[in-house]
Amino acid sequence: MQRRTILKLAALGGIGAGALRHADPAFAQGAEQPRRGGTLTMTLTPEPTTLFPATGASFPIMIAGAKMFDPLIRLDFDFSMKPMLAESWDISADRLTWTFRLRRGVKWHDGRDFTSADVAFTMMEVWKKLHVRGRNALRAVEAAETPDPHTVVFKLSAPVPYFASVLSSHEGVIVPRHIYEGTNILSNPANQRPVGTGPFRFREWVRGSHIIMERNPDYWDAGKPYLDRIIARIIPDAASRAAALESGEILLAGPNHVPLNDTARLGRLPHLEVHKRGNEYSAAVIYLQFNVEHPVLGKPAVRRALAHAVDQNFIVQNIMFGLGTPATGVISPYQRHAYTDQVARYPLDPARAERLLDEAGHPRGAGGVRFAMTLDAYTLGEHYVRIAEYLREALGRIGVRVTLRTEEAATFVRRVYTQNDYEALVFAAVLLADPTVGLQRLLYSGAIQRGMAFTNASNYRNPRVDALFEACQTEGDPEKRRGYWHELQRIVQDELPLLALANWDYTNISNRRVRNFVISPHAMFENFADMWLAS
Amino acid sequence: MWQGAITIVAIAIFNFCLIHMAPGSPVDVLAGESGTADPAMMEELTRRFNLDQPFHVQLFSYLWNMAQLNLGQSYRDNQPVVTLILARLPATLLLMASAIGAAFLFGLLLGVVSARFVGRAADEGISFFALVSYATPTFWSGLMLITLFSVKLGWLPSSGMMTIGSDKTGLAFMLDVGRHLILPTLSLSLFYMAIYTRLMRASMLEVYGLDYVRSARARGLSEARVAFRHVLRNALLPMVTMVGVQVGSILGGSVVVETVYGWPGLGRLAFESVGRRDYNLLLAILLFSSVMVIVTNLVVDIIYTLLDPRIEHGKK
């Protein structure tokens, strides 16, 4: 019975194996014997601010942290739960009590024993209070009980359908209570020299240059890790990172570490390999976001007209170099348990776009211009700016005069999310394993919060959409939940506060010497215990 | 001395005002990078960084701390800014010294050769080379050098300051750093070398036309002796002035080179702290730089007296 519950949850969590479109050569070479030793050099960008990974604050921290800290469980490609620090688990029938039995004999890097007290501390004092997504996602967790040093029981006030995904892998790493209890966690000096239970131990961090992590000989998974050492190099310039991959100085680069045009070029080199697989968990979508309080862009009819002027294929082929697919709606097809393509479509049809704008009361005026708008682009990625430039041309053809504005990241965030002083913008959101965790903040009316980055800056309010989000937070039946998500996609695709432009395939690039890189949907965020280097 | 101190305080106030005029705060940047943030956390950070205080209070507490030589903590790294700066300083000084040294030396050589053979093929060739070097953007020449020497030929490392984790010591370590230093030095020095070449050539030619050179030749001195003993020494004065002035600007130029080559120096730290609105760190770097420029000017003044004993200091 328990087993079935787990399988059901797994199905709820996500992505079936059928989503894996690209065969991974590492698997075909499965007959090879792993080789011990060697140093993996990888890129890490931008430089982390701290090495405390349990707040989920940014990609580089989580990528580095995942090698030094373990979670309770990890997720497989089918999003089923696999043991890590927890060896087994029971989930009560009402899914309000989750009991995890912990692995024995696990030691922190400083030699102290790992116990259930560490898990309870991490849940109650770290994730619930400091984790950027956990604060909301784990609201229903009322207690973490520790009946003995090797058992931890989470008591929930309501079911959390995506609980497993919040606990798993880099999102849910466990930190040592004996170091953090009673201190200011975020400014604890240990954040510069972390102590975890993971397969690699911290050795040094030379700011602006590199972080070195060394093999943990006492790791609980005997014989692993295979690598002696991981060197994470901080190379600030994207073109230089590409050159270092090409010359073989760097063996591995994570998502967005190399610009899209270089990714396509490097993929053609014999010694390098571009992986789309292993980023399913990240599910990124690029959006054109509208401020619905704008007098013209506030009309759904106008937004639908603009959608007919945009050629998604052009964006995918020429700006993203094929590293994506045209989007059908706000939810990524990687989120198979929620996605549907049965929604309104807006095929490229400039004539129809012009007719719709005429009908909406915006005929061409002086100089053929219907109205003018300002378009912002998030500048932490060159392709956002390229897409905005394309949109300026495409919308110009139907008589909408677009002025581009590209400001550096801090100014952008202040303008959009604090001052809400924008009309439309191009950006991407990472939707993670479930829309409740990744998408709700962009469309829920309760997420219209000034001063809070990457929230509902559209000012979109729809009571039905709000109700659907609320229902999905606690609905336990996967089929009912799927129905809610489908309805939500249809409504949003009719009203278009967010016009999804493209599903963006995150990619990692590895040297062919690197084996066992993509072994889960977390790829770069894995702990690398299984990774080895061919000679 | 007093003049220097007043200059530094004025620079500090000016920097402080300028930085706080930029929209966005360190808290916005941290929120932007995380992709999510919640108001309680942003408030907590704002309080921790003292950004909830009125502007004049922040300014006075900054100046007061500075007077006590306390430059504060980096918002981002949770470390004293002095620690961060001192960790980066050797890398920057090394790169600057080698770039200025190379630019000065080769600029001087090429300038002298050019002036000696003015109007001939060597002069034409050098002038062309200098013009191309002058016109090439640093980031582009940097990337081209990487493509050629690291990717295609595989002779030199493409980035970093040393082979990380190799644990080399002594001579092996120095050679390793030297190998990493070649490309950044070349990129950074090309532009300055071009300036010095042209300057040296013009300056030499000017001195060649002076009466005492003609009289030296009339006394039957060899052409080489005239060039090095009589012309070069006097032609050097404008060069030294120029180098002194450019020490500040080479720090700016090193931002690009340090970024392209992943060189862990101060220029990059400054550039990144602008984007991150790490006020304390940026202010401290600017302060360090202004001190550095003032010190350089002092050194240049001393070199003057060595080159030309007629120049004296402290006398009116």
Domain boundaries of chain B, sorted by first residue: 2-67, 90-307
Q: Which of A279, A299, A285 is nearest to A330 (CA)?
A: A285
Does residue A269 sit within a domain? no
Pairing status of strand A39-43 against strand A229-233: parallel
pTM of the model: 0.80
CA angle A273–A277–A278, rounded 5-degree value: 105
Closest chain B C-alpha to A493 CA, distance in angstroms: 23
Say yes or no: A527 and A477 in one domain: no
A207, A271, A384: best to mutate for the B interface, most B CBs within 10 A: A207
Give the pLDDT confidence of B16-63 residue by residue, as tens digits: 888 877 777 777 776 666 555 566 667 777 777 777 778 888 888 888
Cα separation, A133 vs A434, whole angstroms: 12
- The verdict on a CB contact (< 8 Å) between B164 and A410 is no
Does residue A274 sit within a domain? no
Which H or E run includes A146?
A: strand A141-148
Task: Evaluate whether A229 touches B180 at the Cβ level (below 8 Å).
Answer: no
DSSP state string for B55-90: HHHHHHHHHHHHHTT---B-TTT-SBHHHHHHHHHH
Say yes or no: A146 and A16 in one domain: yes
Does residue A206 sit within a domain? no
| pLDDT score at A25 | 44
Cα separation, A58 vs A460, whole angstroms: 27
Give the side-chain half-sphere CA count within 13 A for A244.
28
Question: Which single residue is written with the structure tokens 């550039």?
Answer: B271
Say yes or no: A378 and A330 in one domain: yes
Say yes or no: A26 and A141 in one domain: yes
| pLDDT score at B66 | 80
Give the pLDDT confidence of B77-134 residue by residue, as tens digits: 777 888 888 888 888 889 988 998 999 899 988 988 888 888 888 888 888 888 888 8
| pLDDT score at A348 | 95
| pLDDT score at A482 | 95
Residues 453-512 of A with CB under 8 A from B: 453-454
ipTM, interface predicted TM-score of the complex: 0.73
The model's confidence at residue B299, banded by pLDDT at 50, 70 and 90, is: confident
Closest chain B C-alpha to A517 CA, distance in angstroms: 22
Say yes or no: A395 and A447 in one domain: yes
Give the mean pLDDT of B240-267: 82
CATH of residue A145: 3.90.76.10
Say yes or no: A337 and A320 in one domain: yes
| pLDDT score at A297 | 95
- The verdict on a CB contact (< 8 Å) between B29 and A409 is yes
Q: Which of B150, B164, B259 sits opposite A231 (nearest CB)?
A: B164
Say yes or no: A356 and A430 in one domain: yes
Tokens of residue B77, six digits: 């790294």
Say yes or no: A185 and A290 in one domain: no
Task: Evaluate whether A496 touches A344 at the Cβ level (below 8 Å).
Answer: no
- The verdict on a CB contact (< 8 Å) between A209 and B22 is no
Cα separation, A86 vs A104, whole angstroms: 9
CATH of residue A304: 3.10.105.10
Closest chain A C-alpha to B141 CA, distance in angstroms: 12
Q: Which of B84, B150, B260 sits opposite A247 (nearest CB)?
A: B150
Cα separation, B212 vs B198, whole angstroms: 23
Question: Which single residue is written with the structure tokens 């990524």?
Answer: A332
Q: Which of B39, B158, B161 sits opposite A209 (nearest CB)?
A: B161
Give the CATH number of domain B90-307; options: 1.10.3720.10, 3.30.230.70, 3.40.50.300, 3.30.70.2740: 1.10.3720.10
Q: How many CB pairs under 8 A join A and B?
A: 158
Cα separation, A393 vs A318, whole angstroms: 14
Which H or E run includes A204?
A: strand A200-206
B279-307 and B233-260 helices, crossing angle to 10°? 160
**CA A499 → CA A169, B188, B262, distances in Å?**
31, 45, 38
- The verdict on a CB contact (< 8 Å) between B78 and A191 is yes
| pLDDT score at B35 | 52
Give the pLDDT confidence of B215-229 residue by residue, as tens digits: 888 888 887 778 777
Give the side-chain half-sphere CA count within 13 A for B115.
28
Q: Which of A287, A288, A289, A258 is nearest to A274 (CA)?
A: A258
Q: Is A117's Cβ below 8 Å from some Cβ in B?
A: no
Task: Evaluate whether A192 touches A205 at the Cβ level (below 8 Å).
Answer: yes
Query: A338-352, A367-381, B196-210, B238-252 — which is least confidently predicted?
Result: B238-252
Range of the domain at A51: 3-194+507-533
Share of chain B above pLDDT 90, in %: 3
Question: Which single residue is written with the structure tokens 């003032």?
Answer: B294
Say yes or no: A332 and A405 in one domain: yes
- The verdict on a CB contact (< 8 Å) between A58 and B33 is yes
Pairing status of strand A514-515 against strand A532-533: antiparallel
Q: Which of B237, B246, B226 is nearest to B203 (CA)?
A: B237
Say yes or no: A375 and A515 in one domain: no
With beta carbons under 8 A apart, name residues in chain B contacting A408.
275
| pLDDT score at A423 | 95
Does residue A238 sit within a domain? no
Q: Cα Rg for chain B, rounded, in angstroms?
A: 24
Say yes or no: A528 and A402 in one domain: no
Closest chain B C-alpha to A452 CA, distance in angstroms: 6
Q: Which of B37, B161, B262 sits opposite A452 (nearest CB)?
A: B37
Tokens of residue A171, six digits: 């999102």
Those residues of chain A that have pLDDT short of 50 are 1-29
Q: Is A142's Cβ below 8 Å from some Cβ in B?
A: no
**Length of chain A as a residue count:** 535
Say yes or no: A189 and A288 in one domain: no
With beta carbons under 8 A apart, name residues in chain B contacting A246.
151
Task: Evaluate whether A44 touches A211 at the Cβ level (below 8 Å).
Answer: yes
Q: Is A444's Cβ below 8 Å from some Cβ in B?
A: no
Closest chain B C-alpha to A18 CA, distance in angstroms: 29
| pLDDT score at A400 | 95
Q: Is A234's Cβ below 8 Å from some Cβ in B?
A: yes
- The verdict on a CB contact (< 8 Å) between B151 and A441 is no
User: Nearest chain A Cα to B270, which residue?
Assistant: A208
Does residue A227 sit within a domain? no
Q: 3-class DSSP state for residue B281?
A: helix
Q: Give Dmax (Cα) for chain B.
A: 85
Q: Is A246's Cβ below 8 Å from some Cβ in B?
A: yes
- The verdict on a CB contact (< 8 Å) between A39 and B165 is yes
Cα separation, B281 vs B54, whole angstroms: 20
Give the pLDDT confidence of B140-177 residue by residue, as tens digits: 888 888 888 888 888 888 888 888 777 778 888 888 88
| pLDDT score at B59 | 83
With beta carbons under 8 A apart, name residues in chain B contacting A234.
262
Mean pLDDT of chain B: 81
Q: Is A240's Cβ below 8 Å from some Cβ in B?
A: yes
Q: Which of A225, A122, A226 is nearest to A173 (CA)?
A: A122
Q: Is A360's Cβ below 8 Å from some Cβ in B?
A: no
With beta carbons under 8 A apart, name residues in chain B contacting A247.
150-151, 154, 158
Does residue A261 sit within a domain? no
The alpha-helical segments, DSSP class H, found in B120-222 are 121-135, 138-145, 170-208, 211-218
Question: Which single residue is written with the structure tokens 């692993």?
Answer: A224
User: Nearest chain B Cα to A234, which residue?
Assistant: B262
Number of domains in chain A: 2
| pLDDT score at B164 | 79
